[in-house]
């Protein structure tokens, strides 16, 4: 990255009943080596003490900006509120979840990559998977090359959403999250983005992604499956995305409705996660 060239980054974090992990998530952004960022957080009418924690943290750090929904509005609306309130001078928007941990070089590496690849509209990364206690239990990598990402987009979401950094200009062409989706709003948004633009992933691990028994995708797994299939049907036969692998993968997913949710989750983890660098025996 050129010396003294630090474009503004807005890190966007929706918060709902996240008091157990919130301080660590915020601290991981505060510890970034990249200097020029703001952290926007919206409390979605949490029922725990998340709002009190946010107020205390923001009082000690002017880079933190807070918003609060008057009632629970859901993740898509909360993320869109943050999009609208990002600083006008921000060139990049970084997605972050309130229970994950960003590694210190995340923002720096992603800004540098996007500056070096002006043809790309966003970049994600590989993940470490951590459990509720913060132990690394697995890892997950993603396809990095834009052309390969397109070919695999109808097999599964080709990005770890909370690892993404987007150019602000992307929103002008694809819009915001579709608020009619209760889940998979990230996949739907990214398919719209990929329909017009190229995005990539870094092979490096820049985020620790937490899995827990309380996550929406675990407690509403078949709702997530239904949303995934609905999104894929929209793009299944479009030339930009079509592949026989994607077609057969889509058809096979309908069989998952016959399985219990617990088995579906175990199959997903077996197929997509690799053993962690420090996983338990």
Q: What pLDDT score does 276 carry?
A: 58
**Can you list the positions of beta strands (E) in the chain?**
8-15, 37-43, 64-68, 90-95, 101-102, 120-130, 136-140, 165-167, 198-210, 274-275
Structural domain boundaries in the chain: 8-271
Taking every pair of C-alpha atoms in the chain, what is the biggest distance, in angstroms? 57
Can you give the pLDDT at residue 3? 40
Instruction: Return all residues near 267 (Cβ < 8 A) that are at least 6 apart.
Output: 259
The whole-angstrom separation of Cα 281 and Cα 276 is 10
| Exposed/middle/buried for residue 253 (C-beta within 10 Å: 0-12, 13-18, 19+) | middle
Query: Which pTM does this prediction carry?
Result: 0.91
Give the N- to C-terminal CA distance of the chain in Å, as an integer.
40
What is the structure's pLDDT at 279? 38
Token pair listed for 213: 């028994």
CATH, domain 8-271, list 3.90.550.10, 3.40.50.720, 3.40.30.10, 2.70.98.40: 3.90.550.10
Tell me how many degrees the CA angle 219-16-156 measures, rounded to the nearest 5: 50
Residue given tokens 């157990």 in the structure block = 20
Q: How far apart are CA 76 and CA 246, in angstroms?
A: 26
* Cβ atoms of 258 and 252 closer than 8 Å: no
- The whole-number pLDDT of residue 218 equals 56
Mean pLDDT by groups of 10 residues along the chain of 281 residues:
68 97 98 97 97 98 97 96 97 98 98 98 97 94 96 94 97 95 93 98 97 67 90 95 92 88 79 62 25
pLDDT at 217 (0 to 100) = 59
Give me the pLDDT at residue 247, please.
93
Cβ atoms of 264 and 256 within 8 Å: the answer is: yes
Would you report the helix, strand and coil content of the chain in percent, each value rounded to 5? Answer: 40, 20, 35
- DSSP-derived 3-state class of residue 13: strand
Alpha carbons 137 and 118: distance in angstroms, whole number:
35
Assess contact for 217 and 261: CB atoms under 8 A. Answer: no
Strand runs labelled E in 211-262: none
């Amino acid at each position: 990255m050129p010396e003294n060239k630090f474009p503004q980054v807005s890190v966007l974090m929706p918060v709902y009943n996240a008091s157990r992990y919130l301080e660590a998530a915020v601290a991981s952004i505060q510890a970034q080596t990249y200097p020029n960022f703001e952290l926007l957080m919206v409390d979605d009418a949490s029922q725990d003490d998340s709002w009190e924690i946010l107020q205390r943290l923001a009082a000690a750090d002017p880079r933190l900006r807070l918003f609060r929904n008057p009632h629970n509005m859901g993740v898509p609306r909360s993320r869109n509120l943050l999009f609208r309130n990002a600083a006008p001078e921000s060139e990049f928007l970084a997605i972050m979840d309130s229970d994950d941990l960003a590694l210190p070089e995340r923002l720096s590496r992603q800004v540098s990559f996007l500056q070096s690849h002006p043809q790309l509209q966003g970049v994600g990364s590989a993940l470490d998977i951590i459990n509720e206690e913060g132990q690394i239990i697995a890892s997950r990598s993603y396809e990095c090359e834009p052309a390969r990402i397109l070919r695999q987009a109808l097999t599964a979401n080709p990005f770890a959403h909370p690892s993404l950094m987007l150019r602000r200009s992307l929103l002008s062409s694809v819009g915001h999250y579709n608020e009619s989706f209760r889940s998979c709003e990230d996949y739907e948004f990214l398919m719209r983005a990929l329909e017009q633009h190229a995005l990539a992933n870094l092979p490096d691990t820049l985020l620790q992604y937490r899995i827990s028994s309380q996550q929406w995708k675990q407690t509403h797994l078949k709702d997530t499956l239904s949303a995934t299939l609905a999104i894929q049907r929209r793009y299944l036969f479009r030339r930009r995305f079509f592949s026989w692998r994607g077609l057969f993968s889509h058809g096979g997913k309908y069989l998952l409705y016959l399985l219990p949710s617990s088995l579906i989750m175990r199959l997903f983890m077996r197929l997509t996660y690799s053993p962690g660098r420090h996983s338990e025996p």
